[in-house]
Structure 1
Amino acid sequence: MHTNYTNKKQDRRVFEGSSSSGKDSLRIFMYGVDLVIPDVRYLEDKKQYIRGLVFTHGHDDHIGGIQYIYFKLGNVPMWGTTLTAAFANIKLTERKLKGRVTPVDFDRVLQIGPFTVSFNRVTHSVPDAAHLVITTPLGIIYHGSDFKFDFDPLDGKKSELEKINAAGKKGVLCLLTDCLGSERPGFTPSEQVVGTTLAKELALAPGKVLFTTQSSNISRIQLAIDLALKYGRKIAFFGRSIDQNVEAALKLGFMRFPREAIIRDQDLRRLPAVKQFLIVAGAQGQEGSALSRVANDDHKFVRVGEGDTVVFSADPIPGNEHSVNVVIEELYRRGARVSYSDIMEDLHVSGHGSQGDLMLLLSAVGPKYILPIGGTYKHMMQYRRLAADLGYNKRDVLIPEEGQVLEFRPGVPPRVVETIELENVMVDGLGVGDVGNVVLRDRQTIATEGIVVIVVPIAKSTGQVTAEPDIISRGFIYMKESGRLLDDARRVVSQSLRLKKGRILDWRFVRKQVGENLEMFLFKETGRRPLIVPVIVEV
């Protein structure tokens, strides 16, 4: 989660409001959850002191939670670079929120309370990404969010190394730095290598070509469009996120292509397949995405078959591998040729810097302290090892535990002064934060062990059981072939009910007792622990 803040006594500045995908990247643990967003409870009773919210770039793990947390922070001013602001404002508009992110250019210096914030352009997998130089009364904090040093970027806009060096010469108290690529040697390749591979795919494709990547990867989508036009193909977009981001990028000049090159969905059937280039959302195998529907032959306008090619220009986010593989296999079954990173190099390059990129930033900034961000604990520890090669002491690379608050004071090393209790705040459908660990545990049990429902009919007038309990099983056993087990289970339930003679008043106790007794019996007989749900029905 990418929520950071700096504060000076009663002035606070928050950086990023993100989301991660519960149904995708956290699928193993977050059954049915759509998003996981930042836990901002710590800030809710301090919102009168919050001076602003700043975004570094337009990826969903940095802006995707803004529509859920904005009003909790007190409707504060927000800023971001031009494209970043546009992407964030799409999300605010969808939720019918009045707040808007103010776009800023890279020459702008913000004065917010006691802080000044300036923007350094960096290259990433989405255009208009920035690092923040935050001047505080105590010193400069350099916020080095996701980046790589692409010296031949698709849009021609290179990282502003001169400004990065200038910040370093002023003296940087602490560098917050992306560390996700700390395990990879060398430098991360340029986006240009993807173009060479995609051109080969287009040259060999006898039918329609479907191209899928992250919907925010505007530069790569532009590259794909340029190549498709070169090979005489028409363009069509499928997927709401693709449509919204491309439209925003076009209006702001981050993409350029002739409008007549676009063909409407309903006109595709009149165009020869060899002339079609379809840019389709769903690179992570998301359920219900345009690509998933195509793979399942459930799309209104698009069918794939022999001679068609599907190009995945994105690697699966950890946790999404199964979903992506299912889509790939379904596409194969339809007869399509599928190209993806496991079988073909240079269809995708990371937007995160490798060891060379990370050490170049560290050398340019030359901070007193370093705080690795944006990676897991192992990435942070590996970054500490890399920093040691440049002469940094282990104590100077700060790796606090989740929720720990670091305090910087003049003349003394940073120290942990507080630990905030944080939770995963989950978005499930229209509910925000109403799904907790108990609900997830039940969902996990249903997914792995199944569910058994016991229906007990009772007389409304007497409160006594009127008939033998009924047992319904889903995902636990095949009921038609488990008659003996079900009969024995009913006897366990009936015996539990007989322990309470006369009219039963405390049905909560009885439900608990029935559930515990049946759970022990089923585990003894099957070695499994399904979710037990006793239901009392008044008749």
Structure 2
Amino acid sequence: MSKFKIVPLGGLGKVTQNMFLYIYENEILIVDCGIGFPDEYMPGVDTLIPDTRYLHEQLKEGKKLVGIAITHGHEDHMGALPYILPELEEIPPIWASSLTVGFIQKKLQDQKLKIAIDTFEDHQKVSFGQYFKVMSLAVTHSVPDTKHLVIDTPEGVIYHGSDFKLDEHPLDGVKTDLEMMETLGKQGILLAMIDCLRSEQLEHTPSETTVGPELEKLMRHTKGKFIVTLMSSHIHRIQQIVNAAEKMGRKVVFIGRSVEQNVQITSNLKKLHLPKDLMIDKRDINKHKDNKLCVVIAGSQGQEGSSLIRAVFGEHRQVQILPDDKVVFSANVIPGNEIAYYRAINELAGNGVNVIYPDVNPLLHQSGHASAAEQRTVAKLLHPKYLMPIGGEDRHRAKFREYVAQSLGYTKDKVITPKIGEILGFTNGEVRIVDSIDIRPRTVDGLGIGDVGPIVLSDRRSMGQSGMIVLIIPRRKGQLDLKKIEVISKGFVFMKEAEEVIRFIETETAGIIKSLGKNKTDQDIREALEHKLGRKLYKVIRREPMIIPVILDI
């Protein structure tokens, strides 16, 4: 039986919800704790968080959580901490880079959680419990202070290489630590987990610094306000916008909670440099001429309720978008957000506003992820015994195997691609799948966590697609009055123009109840109506509304 296991609770076959359990005997180390994003089949869901049932089962069996290590400050790697930490009986030591600590602390403060977090110093090992030692090293990514982790275990060294790119000209001068990777490779690595998100791309990912000159050029030829939206954690992009605005003589104003918070945190940590006389308060925006303003605004994915969307539709108190303004989307659309993203662009274009986005100008955005060529470079330096692509979907993992692993001579058995729920076991330098668990990400809907399951989501989809009908069945002195059934339709048919359908529903409802005979419970009646009436309606009009029977005692 394997003493050492790695249990991916997210980050395999999916891009988000990154969370890995490292387990040796009675100790557990968590690496990353990120959120996921709902798709079109999850109406009303705000966020997804990892399924931690297995973790809590292990803790109940007597294992101890000895620490949490976070690789960087993106939501899909640290955003679930405010949900996961309150569920733990004892908070373990938490370590991250300085900027990531700042981002996490702000999220915890928003939830009124006071938890100490320690800061990694590169190349210095930190002990977690008896069996784990973790060392960080710098890599470039779309958020500063991103780290890869080197984890010493009794079975060997695991290289946890989440999101990165090999940017030769990073804005802050902090390059990916290839020298340390080479040293680690010479010392010996059992397994290297490597970010595979852009494994489909063969060419080297361009430097982030190529975006700044393009933004500056667009700003130079803008008559009115220069309005730019981007991912709020993209601090190096923000820095380039600030630099361009200073050169163009424009004041800079930040609008949107996420942007304002991240700018405050990074500037306090001196990872973002803001000339004092360049910044203005958003409440003073009307005191300046439009052609002297640069507005950095949150909402690059067209999120409903974001500052950008309120400005686009004329509902923002501080920002009004006028025909002479130029709106720049300095972010690609994230898969699943296409409708909201292009809805915002269409609205601006329809209003005669000059809107520029990566589809028409690819230089407005550069990825923070390594291409297959860069992944190959890292894998070659590390030359581990086993490779494991992480942080991508199944197609990315397949291309990693083809473009990276096979090109370096790795055979199929040396490239580990576990399915969701599969557990890796390590024994005497060998890795294999030793177990499988059921993983079902939890939903966050408003203040509720995990209380929106498949049945609720199915009901929501049904209502969204075909509407609902409520059957009010009166009962007098214990007898159902089937001649007085009332039908209420919402999103199914317009009742004034569908009397024939309503009569059909009333007749069929009465018939189904009669067919049940006597001595049937209210629950029996409800279930029969939900199933039988639903099938009958589908046969007649090819729609399946949600059916809600209500037995009303009068």
Structure 1 length normalisation: TM-score?
A: 0.96
Q: Tell me the secondary structure at the aligned position of residue 105 of structure 2.
A: helix
The count of residues paired between Structure 1 and Structure 2 equals 532
Q: 1:100 to 1:465 in 2, by over 3 A?
A: farther
Q: 361, 365, 368: which one pairs with 2:385?
A: 368
Residue 229 of structure 1 and its aligned partner are, at CA, apart by: 1.7
Partner of 1:491: 507
Paired with 2:315 and 2:551, the residues of 1 have a C-alpha distance of: 41
Verify the 8 A CA contact 1:457 1:467 in the aligned structure 2.
Answer: no
Q: 73, 80, 98: which one pairs with 1:65?
A: 80
Task: State how 1:191-340 maps to structure 2 within 5 Å.
Answer: 191-340=208-357
Partner of 1:510: 525
Higher relative contact order (CA 8 A, sep 6+): 2
Paired with 1:414 and 1:513, the residues of 2 have a C-alpha distance of: 52
Report whether the alignment pairs 1:118 with 2:135: yes
Partner of 2:47: 35
Q: In structure 1, give the amino acid aligned to 2:422.
A: Q
Partner of 2:421: 403
Residue 466 of structure 1 and its aligned partner are, at CA, apart by: 7.5
Report whether the alignment pairs 1:9 with 2:21: no
Q: In structure 1, give the amino acid aligned to 2:339.
A: H
Of the structure 1 ranges 438-447 and 144-153, higher mean CA displacement relative to structure 2 is found in 438-447
Residue 266 of structure 1 and its aligned partner are, at CA, apart by: 2.2
Partner of 1:54: 69
Paired with 1:521 and 1:492, the residues of 2 have a C-alpha distance of: 8
Paired with 2:488 and 2:343, the residues of 1 have a C-alpha distance of: 31
Q: 28, 35, 46: which one pairs with 1:19?
A: 35
Paired with 1:128 and 1:147, the residues of 2 have a C-alpha distance of: 11
Report whether the alignment pairs 1:96 with 2:143: no
Residue 402 of structure 1 and its aligned partner are, at CA, apart by: 0.8
Q: In structure 1, give the amino acid aligned to 2:305.
A: G
Verify the 8 A CA contact 2:469 2:492 in the aligned structure 1.
Answer: yes
Q: Tell me the secondary structure at the aligned position of residue 364 of structure 2.
A: coil
Residue 463 of structure 1 and its aligned partner are, at CA, apart by: 4.5
Residue deviations 1:405-426 (CA, integer Å, cap 9, x gap): 1111115x31111111110211
Q: Tell me the secondary structure at the aligned position of residue 346 of structure 1.
A: helix
Partner of 2:11: none
Q: Tell me the secondary structure at the aligned position of residue 260 of structure 2.
A: helix
Residue deviations 1:7-38 (CA, integer Å, cap 9, x gap): 2211221100000122xxx2x12111011111
Report whether the alignment pairs 1:155 with 2:172: yes
Of the structure 1 ranges 462-471 and 424-433, higher mean CA displacement relative to structure 2 is found in 462-471
Residue 467 of structure 1 and its aligned partner are, at CA, apart by: 5.7
Of the structure 1 ranges 388-397 and 4-13, higher mean CA displacement relative to structure 2 is found in 4-13
Paired with 2:241 and 2:552, the residues of 1 have a C-alpha distance of: 60
Residue 121 of structure 1 and its aligned partner are, at CA, apart by: 0.1
Report whether the alignment pairs 1:78 with 2:81: no
Q: In structure 1, give the amino acid aligned to 2:50.
A: P
Verify the 8 A CA contact 1:315 1:341 in the aligned structure 2.
Answer: yes
Q: In structure 1, give the amino acid aligned to 2:53.
A: R
Q: 526, 536, 539: which one pairs with 2:551?
A: 536
Verify the 8 A CA contact 2:482 2:510 in the aligned structure 1.
Answer: no
Residue 501 of structure 1 and its aligned partner are, at CA, apart by: 6.5
Residue 258 of structure 1 and its aligned partner are, at CA, apart by: 2.0
Paired with 1:100 and 1:423, the residues of 2 have a C-alpha distance of: 30
Q: Tell me the secondary structure at the aligned position of residue 182 of structure 2.
A: helix
Report whether the alignment pairs 1:526 with 2:541: yes
Partner of 2:471: 454
Verify the 8 A CA contact 1:304 1:335 in the aligned structure 2.
Answer: no
Residue deviations 1:236-294 (CA, integer Å, cap 9, x gap): 11111111111110110111112332222222122111111111111111111111111
Q: In structure 1, give the amino acid aligned to 2:414.
A: D
Residue deviations 1:165-197 (CA, integer Å, cap 9, x gap): 111111000001100111001111100111121
Residue deviations 1:68-117 (CA, integer Å, cap 9, x gap): 11133431110000001111111111111222322223243201122111
Verify the 8 A CA contact 1:82 1:105 in the aligned structure 2.
Answer: no
Q: In structure 2, give the amino acid aligned to 1:390.
A: L
Verify the 8 A CA contact 2:473 2:480 in the aligned structure 1.
Answer: no
Verify the 8 A CA contact 1:453 1:532 in the aligned structure 2.
Answer: yes
Verify the 8 A CA contact 1:12 1:50 in the aligned structure 2.
Answer: yes
Residue deviations 1:196-215 (CA, integer Å, cap 9, x gap): 21111101110111111111
Partner of 1:416: 433
Query: RMSD value over aligned CA atoms?
Result: 1.5
Verify the 8 A CA contact 2:195 2:389 in the aligned structure 1.
Answer: yes
Residue 444 of structure 1 and its aligned partner are, at CA, apart by: 1.2
Q: In structure 2, give the amino acid aligned to 1:158.
A: K
Of the structure 1 ranges 233-242 and 462-471, higher mean CA displacement relative to structure 2 is found in 462-471
Uncovered stretches (5+) of structure 1, i.e. residues with no partner: none
Report whether the alignment pairs 1:478 with 2:490: no
Residue 472 of structure 1 and its aligned partner are, at CA, apart by: 2.0
Verify the 8 A CA contact 1:70 1:76 in the aligned structure 2.
Answer: no
Q: In structure 1, give the amino acid aligned to 2:109.
A: T
Uncovered stretches (5+) of structure 2, i.e. residues with no partner: 1-16
Verify the 8 A CA contact 2:185 2:382 in the aligned structure 1.
Answer: yes
Paired with 2:116 and 2:527, the residues of 1 have a C-alpha distance of: 50
Q: Tell me the secondary structure at the aligned position of residue 480 of structure 2.
A: coil
Paired with 1:296 and 1:483, the residues of 2 have a C-alpha distance of: 39
Of the structure 1 ranges 468-477 and 208-217, higher mean CA displacement relative to structure 2 is found in 468-477
Q: Tell me the secondary structure at the aligned position of residue 325 of structure 1.
A: helix
Paired with 2:443 and 2:86, the residues of 1 have a C-alpha distance of: 17
Paired with 1:107 and 1:248, the residues of 2 have a C-alpha distance of: 25
Paired with 2:258 and 2:126, the residues of 1 have a C-alpha distance of: 30
Residue 505 of structure 1 and its aligned partner are, at CA, apart by: 6.2
Paired with 1:166 and 1:520, the residues of 2 have a C-alpha distance of: 66
Report whether the alignment pairs 1:172 with 2:189: yes
Verify the 8 A CA contact 1:284 1:316 in the aligned structure 2.
Answer: yes
Paired with 2:471 and 2:278, the residues of 1 have a C-alpha distance of: 61
Paired with 1:515 and 1:5, the residues of 2 have a C-alpha distance of: 43
Of the structure 1 ranges 324-333 and 104-113, higher mean CA displacement relative to structure 2 is found in 104-113
Q: 1:467 to 1:269 in 2, by over 3 A?
A: farther
Q: Tell me the secondary structure at the aligned position of residue 286 of structure 1.
A: coil
